[in-house]
């Protein structure tokens, strides 16, 4: 049935944002865990571990997210998991986020002068202790602005989950368009809702960056 695009539709779009945010948070937590491992492997002094991390990052960053999403969606049944868009999206987005967060955090760890590691070693700390007590506390401050920046990318990219039928904001927009035939108004509203979510984060990331590097 065709009807006008009205406030009730806007409300449904706003409600659909729950799933956009749920997917973002899931992927951020999952990707954060993977990213942590990747970053530590990269700064470890064991080359096979470094190589694994490099391969992982290169492979994921060189593949479109859309392809990852479809490989996981169709791969689920092969490994015997139920074919649910939610599971495929959560897995694909976590693995995607893991590569990018891992690379961001490695950059932050690498930015700490080598002498800090050496100072730790001179005090008799092992690799893990140096990392935990000396390197990470300093690196975190540098890592936060780009991490928030990536969070914005992640929120925007969850829109791709619409293509495997996961009903988040963009998919809800497609459904609304199908019943109202007002794509311009609907998609502008959808875009505006993304903007409302992302813009404050972008500004926050920028402010954090200015604070850690001082005024340009």
Residue 199, Cβ density class (10 Å: 0-12 exposed, 13-18 middle, ≥19 buried): exposed
Number of Cβ within a 10 Å radius of residue 132: 13
Residues ≥6 apart with Cβ < 8 Å to 70: 163, 164
Q: Give the residue ranges of DSSP H helices in 79-126.
A: 85-110, 114-122
Q: Minimum Å distance from CB 66 to other proteins? A: 5
Q: Minimum Å distance from CB 100 to other proteins? A: 11
Q: Minimum Å distance from CB 168 to other proteins? A: 11
Please say whether the beta carbons of 199 and 207 come within 8 A.
no
Interacting span for other proteins (CB under 8 A) from 24-32, 114-122, 129-137, 192-200: 192-200
Interacting span for other proteins (CB under 8 A) from 9-17, 48-56, 136-144, 191-199: 191-199
Judged by CB under 8 A, does residue 180 bind other proteins?
Answer: no
Judged by CB under 8 A, does residue 102 bind other proteins?
Answer: no
| Distance from C-alpha of 157 to C-alpha of 172, rounded to nearest angstrom | 15
Site string for other proteins, 44-73 (x = CB under 8 A): ---------------x-xxxxxxxx-xx--
**How many residues in the shown chain lie near other proteins by CB under 8 A?**
42
Between 93 and 117, CB nearer to other proteins: 93
Helices (H) and strands (E) in the chain, counts: 9, 0
Question: Looking at residue 164, what DSSP letter applies?
Answer: G
Judged by CB under 8 A, does residue 177 bind other proteins?
Answer: yes
| Distance from C-alpha of 63 to C-alpha of 48, rounded to nearest angstrom | 23
Length of the chain: 216
Judged by CB under 8 A, does residue 194 bind other proteins?
Answer: yes
Q: Minimum Å distance from CB 137 to other proteins? A: 28
Binding site for other proteins (CB under 8 A): 59, 61-68, 70-71, 74-75, 77-80, 152, 156-157, 159-160, 162-163, 170, 173-174, 177, 182-185, 187-188, 190-191, 194-195, 198-199, 202, 216
């Amino acid at each position: 049935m065709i009807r006008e695009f009205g406030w009730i539709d806007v409300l449904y779009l706003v409600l659909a944002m729950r799933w956009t945010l749920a997917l973002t948070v899931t992927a951020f937590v999952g990707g954060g865990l993977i990213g942590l491992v990747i970053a530590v492997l990269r700064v470890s002094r064991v080359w096979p571990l470094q190589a694994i991390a490099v391969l992982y990052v290169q492979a994921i960053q060189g593949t479109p997210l859309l392809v990852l999403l479809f490989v996981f969606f169709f791969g689920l049944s092969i490994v015997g998991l139920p074919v649910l868009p939610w599971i495929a999206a959560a897995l694909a987005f976590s693995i995607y986020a893991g590569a990018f967060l891992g690379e961001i955090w490695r950059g932050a760890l690498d930015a700490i002068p080598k002498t800090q590691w050496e100072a730790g070693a001179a005090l008799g700390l092992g690799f893990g202790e140096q990392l935990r007590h000396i390197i990470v506390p300093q690196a975190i401050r540098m890592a936060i602005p780009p991490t928030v920046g990536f969070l914005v990318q992640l929120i925007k990219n969850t829109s791709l989950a619409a293509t495997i039928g996961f009903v988040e904001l963009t998919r809800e927009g497609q459904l609304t368009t199908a019943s109202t035939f007002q794509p311009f108004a609907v998609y502008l509203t959808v875009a505006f809702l993304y903007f409302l979510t992302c813009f404050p984060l972008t500004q926050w990331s920028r402010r954090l960056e200015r604070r850690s590097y001082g005024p340009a």
